[in-house]
Chains A and B, each alone.
Chain A
Protein backbone atom coordinates (compact mmCIF):
# COMPACT_ATOMS: atom_id res chain seq x y z
CA UNK A 1 0.00 0.00 0.00
CA UNK A 2 1.69 3.13 -1.24
CA UNK A 3 0.85 6.79 -1.70
CA UNK A 4 2.79 9.51 -3.47
CA UNK A 5 3.78 12.63 -1.55
CA UNK A 6 1.60 14.70 -3.91
CA UNK A 7 -1.33 12.33 -3.35
CA UNK A 8 -0.85 12.59 0.40
CA UNK A 9 -0.88 16.41 0.32
CA UNK A 10 -3.97 16.37 -1.87
CA UNK A 11 -5.63 14.09 0.66
CA UNK A 12 -4.63 16.32 3.58
CA UNK A 13 -5.94 19.39 1.72
CA UNK A 14 -9.26 17.92 0.56
CA UNK A 15 -10.21 15.07 2.86
CA UNK A 16 -8.47 16.55 5.87
CA UNK A 17 -8.91 20.31 6.06
CA UNK A 18 -11.64 20.78 3.43
CA UNK A 19 -13.98 17.97 4.41
CA UNK A 20 -13.53 18.75 8.09
CA UNK A 21 -14.48 22.36 7.37
CA UNK A 22 -17.65 21.28 5.56
CA UNK A 23 -18.69 19.08 8.46
CA UNK A 24 -17.87 21.78 11.01
CA UNK A 25 -19.86 24.31 8.99
CA UNK A 26 -23.12 22.42 9.30
CA UNK A 27 -22.50 22.12 13.05
CA UNK A 28 -21.87 25.86 13.36
CA UNK A 29 -25.06 26.72 11.47
CA UNK A 30 -27.16 24.46 13.67
CA UNK A 31 -25.60 25.89 16.83
CA UNK A 32 -26.00 29.52 15.70
CA UNK A 33 -29.66 28.90 14.80
CA UNK A 34 -30.30 27.11 18.07
CA UNK A 35 -28.86 29.95 20.12
CA UNK A 36 -30.41 32.88 18.38
CA UNK A 37 -33.59 31.62 16.71
CA UNK A 38 -35.67 33.18 19.48
CA UNK A 39 -34.84 36.54 21.10
CA UNK A 40 -36.31 35.18 24.33
CA UNK A 41 -34.43 31.89 24.09
CA UNK A 42 -32.66 30.19 26.98
CA UNK A 43 -29.79 31.91 28.75
CA UNK A 44 -26.41 31.14 27.13
CA UNK A 45 -23.78 29.90 29.56
CA UNK A 46 -20.24 31.35 29.52
CA UNK A 47 -18.78 27.88 28.82
CA UNK A 48 -21.05 27.62 25.75
CA UNK A 49 -19.80 30.99 24.52
CA UNK A 50 -16.20 29.91 24.90
CA UNK A 51 -16.91 26.67 23.09
CA UNK A 52 -18.53 28.48 20.16
CA UNK A 53 -15.73 31.03 20.00
CA UNK A 54 -13.09 28.30 19.87
CA UNK A 55 -15.20 26.32 17.39
CA UNK A 56 -15.53 29.23 14.94
CA UNK A 57 -11.86 30.17 15.35
CA UNK A 58 -10.87 26.55 14.60
CA UNK A 59 -13.07 26.69 11.51
CA UNK A 60 -11.29 29.86 10.37
CA UNK A 61 -7.89 28.16 10.88
CA UNK A 62 -9.13 25.14 8.89
CA UNK A 63 -10.37 27.37 6.08
CA UNK A 64 -7.05 29.20 5.84
CA UNK A 65 -5.09 25.92 5.94
CA UNK A 66 -7.28 24.57 3.14
CA UNK A 67 -6.80 27.50 0.77
CA UNK A 68 -3.11 27.96 1.57
CA UNK A 69 -2.19 24.28 1.07
CA UNK A 70 -4.33 24.28 -2.06
CA UNK A 71 -2.83 27.40 -3.61
CA UNK A 72 0.79 27.04 -2.56
CA UNK A 73 1.42 23.29 -2.36
CA UNK A 74 -1.02 21.45 -4.66
CA UNK A 75 -1.88 24.03 -7.32
CA UNK A 76 1.77 24.38 -8.49
CA UNK A 77 1.82 20.60 -9.12
CA UNK A 78 -1.54 20.83 -10.89
CA UNK A 79 -0.51 23.62 -13.26
CA UNK A 80 3.06 22.46 -13.89
CA UNK A 81 4.12 22.54 -17.54
CA UNK A 82 5.70 19.37 -18.93
CA UNK A 83 9.18 19.69 -20.41
CA UNK A 84 9.32 19.65 -24.21
CA UNK A 85 9.23 16.17 -25.67
CA UNK A 86 7.53 14.66 -22.62
CA UNK A 87 5.01 12.17 -24.00
CA UNK A 88 3.20 11.36 -20.74
CA UNK A 89 0.90 13.93 -19.14
CA UNK A 90 0.15 11.76 -16.10
CA UNK A 91 2.04 14.10 -13.75
CA UNK A 92 0.63 17.27 -15.33
CA UNK A 93 -3.10 17.32 -14.46
CA UNK A 94 -3.98 20.68 -16.04
CA UNK A 95 -2.36 19.71 -19.35
CA UNK A 96 -3.94 16.27 -19.20
CA UNK A 97 -7.43 17.76 -18.77
CA UNK A 98 -6.88 20.33 -21.51
CA UNK A 99 -5.61 17.71 -23.94
CA UNK A 100 -9.11 16.39 -24.59
CA UNK A 101 -12.36 18.25 -25.38
CA UNK A 102 -14.23 15.81 -23.16
CA UNK A 103 -12.24 16.86 -20.07
CA UNK A 104 -11.07 20.43 -20.77
CA UNK A 105 -14.11 22.03 -19.07
CA UNK A 106 -13.06 20.41 -15.81
CA UNK A 107 -10.19 22.87 -15.93
CA UNK A 108 -11.74 25.88 -17.70
CA UNK A 109 -14.88 25.86 -15.54
CA UNK A 110 -14.15 23.56 -12.59
CA UNK A 111 -10.66 24.63 -11.57
CA UNK A 112 -11.15 28.26 -12.62
CA UNK A 113 -14.22 28.45 -10.38
CA UNK A 114 -12.73 26.46 -7.52
CA UNK A 115 -9.48 28.42 -7.30
CA UNK A 116 -11.35 31.70 -6.73
CA UNK A 117 -14.57 30.74 -4.96
CA UNK A 118 -12.62 28.89 -2.26
CA UNK A 119 -11.12 32.18 -1.03
CA UNK A 120 -14.55 33.47 -0.05
CA UNK A 121 -14.58 30.81 2.67
CA UNK A 122 -11.72 31.99 4.95
CA UNK A 123 -12.77 35.63 4.57
CA UNK A 124 -16.37 34.82 5.54
CA UNK A 125 -15.61 32.55 8.44
CA UNK A 126 -12.86 34.80 9.83
CA UNK A 127 -15.43 37.60 9.90
CA UNK A 128 -17.98 35.33 11.59
CA UNK A 129 -15.45 34.23 14.22
CA UNK A 130 -14.35 37.83 14.87
CA UNK A 131 -17.91 39.16 15.21
CA UNK A 132 -18.93 36.27 17.46
CA UNK A 133 -15.84 36.71 19.64
CA UNK A 134 -16.54 40.39 20.11
CA UNK A 135 -20.29 40.22 20.76
CA UNK A 136 -20.96 36.68 22.02
CA UNK A 137 -24.37 36.68 23.81
CA UNK A 138 -25.00 40.32 22.95
CA UNK A 139 -25.50 39.19 19.34
CA UNK A 140 -29.07 38.75 20.59
CA UNK A 141 -29.47 42.51 20.70
CA UNK A 142 -27.79 43.00 17.32
CA UNK A 143 -30.08 41.12 14.92
CA UNK A 144 -28.43 42.62 11.82
CA UNK A 145 -24.99 41.36 12.85
CA UNK A 146 -26.47 37.98 13.74
CA UNK A 147 -28.11 37.77 10.32
CA UNK A 148 -24.83 38.74 8.65
CA UNK A 149 -22.88 36.08 10.53
CA UNK A 150 -25.43 33.43 9.56
CA UNK A 151 -25.58 34.54 5.92
CA UNK A 152 -21.79 34.57 5.55
CA UNK A 153 -21.48 31.15 7.20
CA UNK A 154 -24.15 29.83 4.77
CA UNK A 155 -22.26 31.27 1.80
CA UNK A 156 -19.00 29.83 3.13
CA UNK A 157 -20.68 26.41 3.24
CA UNK A 158 -21.86 26.84 -0.36
CA UNK A 159 -18.46 28.07 -1.56
CA UNK A 160 -16.64 25.27 0.28
CA UNK A 161 -19.09 22.78 -1.21
CA UNK A 162 -18.41 24.04 -4.76
CA UNK A 163 -14.65 23.96 -4.17
CA UNK A 164 -14.84 20.51 -2.58
CA UNK A 165 -17.00 19.07 -5.35
CA UNK A 166 -14.71 20.31 -8.12
CA UNK A 167 -11.63 19.31 -6.15
CA UNK A 168 -12.91 15.74 -5.92
CA UNK A 169 -13.97 15.62 -9.59
CA UNK A 170 -10.71 17.13 -10.83
CA UNK A 171 -8.71 14.66 -8.82
CA UNK A 172 -10.85 11.83 -10.19
CA UNK A 173 -10.29 12.91 -13.81
CA UNK A 174 -6.65 13.97 -13.48
CA UNK A 175 -5.12 13.10 -10.12
CA UNK A 176 -2.29 15.16 -8.72
CA UNK A 177 0.28 12.41 -8.65
CA UNK A 178 4.03 11.91 -8.68
CA UNK A 179 6.93 12.74 -6.45
CA UNK A 180 8.46 10.39 -3.92
CA UNK A 181 6.38 7.41 -2.83
CA UNK A 182 5.54 6.57 0.76
CA UNK A 183 5.01 2.91 1.55
CA UNK A 184 2.31 2.52 4.18
CA UNK A 185 2.01 -1.28 4.34
CA UNK A 186 4.04 -3.84 2.44
CA UNK A 187 1.70 -6.56 1.21
CA UNK A 188 2.65 -10.23 1.06
CA UNK A 189 3.16 -11.88 -2.30
CA UNK A 190 0.39 -14.18 -3.67
Chain B
Protein backbone atom coordinates (compact mmCIF):
# COMPACT_ATOMS: atom_id res chain seq x y z
CA UNK B 1 0.00 0.00 0.00
CA UNK B 2 2.75 2.42 0.91
CA UNK B 3 4.61 1.53 -2.28
CA UNK B 4 1.46 2.34 -4.25
CA UNK B 5 1.07 5.68 -2.47
CA UNK B 6 4.68 6.63 -3.03
CA UNK B 7 4.47 5.70 -6.68
CA UNK B 8 1.18 7.50 -7.17
CA UNK B 9 2.35 10.86 -5.84
CA UNK B 10 4.17 11.90 -9.06
CA UNK B 11 1.28 10.58 -11.12
CA UNK B 12 -1.14 12.75 -9.16
CA UNK B 13 1.06 15.73 -10.01
CA UNK B 14 0.99 14.80 -13.70
CA UNK B 15 -2.78 14.32 -13.68
CA UNK B 16 -4.11 16.61 -10.94
CA UNK B 17 -7.53 16.03 -9.45
CA UNK B 18 -8.80 19.58 -10.07
CA UNK B 19 -10.63 18.83 -13.34
CA UNK B 20 -12.38 15.84 -11.79
CA UNK B 21 -13.30 17.78 -8.66
CA UNK B 22 -14.71 20.57 -10.84
CA UNK B 23 -16.95 18.09 -12.68
CA UNK B 24 -18.10 16.50 -9.40
CA UNK B 25 -18.94 19.78 -7.66
CA UNK B 26 -20.63 21.18 -10.78
CA UNK B 27 -22.85 18.06 -10.91
CA UNK B 28 -23.89 18.71 -7.32
CA UNK B 29 -24.60 22.38 -8.10
CA UNK B 30 -26.57 21.45 -11.25
CA UNK B 31 -28.65 18.91 -9.33
CA UNK B 32 -29.52 21.45 -6.66
CA UNK B 33 -30.30 24.06 -9.32
CA UNK B 34 -33.09 21.82 -10.65
CA UNK B 35 -34.70 21.74 -7.21
CA UNK B 36 -34.21 25.46 -6.56
CA UNK B 37 -35.82 26.46 -9.87
CA UNK B 38 -38.60 23.87 -9.48
CA UNK B 39 -39.50 25.07 -5.97
CA UNK B 40 -39.28 28.73 -7.00
CA UNK B 41 -41.61 28.08 -9.95
CA UNK B 42 -43.98 26.18 -7.69
CA UNK B 43 -44.14 28.91 -5.03
CA UNK B 44 -44.19 32.07 -7.15
CA UNK B 45 -46.57 32.56 -10.06
CA UNK B 46 -44.34 35.16 -11.84
CA UNK B 47 -41.39 32.75 -11.80
CA UNK B 48 -43.64 29.94 -13.01
CA UNK B 49 -44.69 32.10 -15.92
CA UNK B 50 -41.06 33.09 -16.61
CA UNK B 51 -40.06 29.42 -16.74
CA UNK B 52 -42.56 28.68 -19.47
CA UNK B 53 -39.93 28.50 -22.24
CA UNK B 54 -41.81 25.95 -24.33
CA UNK B 55 -45.56 26.11 -23.86
CA UNK B 56 -46.46 22.42 -24.46
CA UNK B 57 -43.98 21.34 -21.75
CA UNK B 58 -44.78 24.26 -19.45
CA UNK B 59 -42.55 25.51 -16.62
CA UNK B 60 -40.55 22.24 -16.61
CA UNK B 61 -38.86 23.44 -19.82
CA UNK B 62 -37.53 26.59 -18.14
CA UNK B 63 -36.68 24.88 -14.85
CA UNK B 64 -34.52 22.25 -16.52
CA UNK B 65 -33.00 24.59 -19.12
CA UNK B 66 -31.95 27.11 -16.46
CA UNK B 67 -30.55 24.32 -14.25
CA UNK B 68 -28.53 22.90 -17.16
CA UNK B 69 -27.14 26.36 -17.95
CA UNK B 70 -26.14 26.80 -14.28
CA UNK B 71 -24.58 23.32 -14.21
CA UNK B 72 -22.53 23.87 -17.40
CA UNK B 73 -21.49 27.38 -16.36
CA UNK B 74 -20.38 26.12 -12.93
CA UNK B 75 -18.49 23.27 -14.58
CA UNK B 76 -16.73 25.60 -17.04
CA UNK B 77 -15.83 28.10 -14.31
CA UNK B 78 -14.55 25.50 -11.84
CA UNK B 79 -12.66 23.69 -14.58
CA UNK B 80 -10.98 26.94 -15.60
CA UNK B 81 -9.98 27.58 -11.96
CA UNK B 82 -8.92 24.05 -10.92
CA UNK B 83 -8.02 21.94 -13.93
CA UNK B 84 -4.26 22.30 -13.64
CA UNK B 85 -3.88 21.80 -9.90
CA UNK B 86 -4.65 19.45 -7.06
CA UNK B 87 -7.50 20.51 -4.81
CA UNK B 88 -9.04 19.11 -1.62
CA UNK B 89 -11.08 16.57 -3.50
CA UNK B 90 -12.30 14.81 -0.34
CA UNK B 91 -14.04 17.89 1.00
CA UNK B 92 -15.35 18.86 -2.44
CA UNK B 93 -16.76 15.38 -2.98
CA UNK B 94 -18.56 15.51 0.38
CA UNK B 95 -20.08 18.92 -0.48
CA UNK B 96 -21.13 17.68 -3.93
CA UNK B 97 -22.72 14.59 -2.45
CA UNK B 98 -24.61 16.64 0.15
CA UNK B 99 -25.95 18.84 -2.69
CA UNK B 100 -26.97 15.75 -4.65
CA UNK B 101 -28.61 14.14 -1.61
CA UNK B 102 -30.50 17.37 -0.83
CA UNK B 103 -31.66 17.50 -4.45
CA UNK B 104 -32.90 13.93 -4.25
CA UNK B 105 -34.84 14.71 -1.06
CA UNK B 106 -36.25 18.01 -2.27
CA UNK B 107 -37.55 16.59 -5.54
CA UNK B 108 -39.99 14.55 -3.40
CA UNK B 109 -43.10 16.79 -3.43
CA UNK B 110 -44.22 16.23 0.22
CA UNK B 111 -40.77 17.37 1.43
CA UNK B 112 -40.56 20.29 -1.02
CA UNK B 113 -44.02 21.42 0.10
CA UNK B 114 -42.72 21.82 3.65
CA UNK B 115 -40.55 24.75 2.53
Residues of the B chain whose Cβ atoms lie less than 8 Å from the Cβ of A84: none
Q: Which residues in chain B, 62-81, are within 8 Å of chain A measured between CB atoms? A: 63-64, 67-68, 71
Min distance, Cβ A37 to any Cβ of chain B, angstroms: 14
Min distance, Cβ B85 to any Cβ of chain A, angstroms: 13
Is A44 part of the contact surface with B, judged by Cβ < 8 Å?
A: no
Q: How large is the interface on B (under 10, 10 to 19, 20 to 34, 35 or more residues)?
A: 35 or more
Chain A's closest residue to B1 (CB) is A39
Is A141 part of the contact surface with B, judged by Cβ < 8 Å?
A: yes
Residues of the B chain whose Cβ atoms lie less than 8 Å from the Cβ of A113: 107-109
Whether A155 contacts B30 by the Cβ 8 Å rule is no
**Which of A19-27, A68-76, A169-177 interfaces with chain B?**
A68-76
Chain B's closest residue to A120 (CB) is B31
Is B19 part of the contact surface with A, judged by Cβ < 8 Å?
A: yes
Residues of the A chain whose Cβ atoms lie less than 8 Å from the Cβ of B1: 39-40
Query: Given A115-B60, A141-B11, A159-B104 in contact, is the A123-B17 Cβ separation under 8 Å?
Result: no
Whether B17 contacts A39 by the Cβ 8 Å rule is no
CA distance A141 to B30 in the complex (A): 26
CA distance A76 to B55 in the complex (A): 9
Residues of the A chain whose Cβ atoms lie less than 8 Å from the Cβ of B11: 138, 141
CA distance A151 to B24 in the complex (A): 10
Contact with A along B79-107 (1 / 0, CB 8 A): 00000000001101100110011011001
Query: Given A127-B27, A144-B90 in contact, is the A134-B20 Cβ separation under 8 Å?
Result: yes
* 20 A-B interface contacts by CB (under 8 A): A72-B54, A72-B57, A113-B107, A116-B38, A117-B104, A117-B108, A120-B31, A120-B100, A123-B34, A124-B100, A127-B26, A130-B23, A141-B4, A141-B8, A141-B12, A144-B93, A145-B89, A148-B89, A151-B93, A151-B100
Chain A residues with a Cβ under 8 A of chain B: 39-40, 67, 71-72, 75-76, 79-80, 108-109, 112-113, 115-117, 119-120, 123-124, 126-127, 130-131, 134-135, 138, 140-142, 144-145, 147-149, 151-152, 155, 158-159
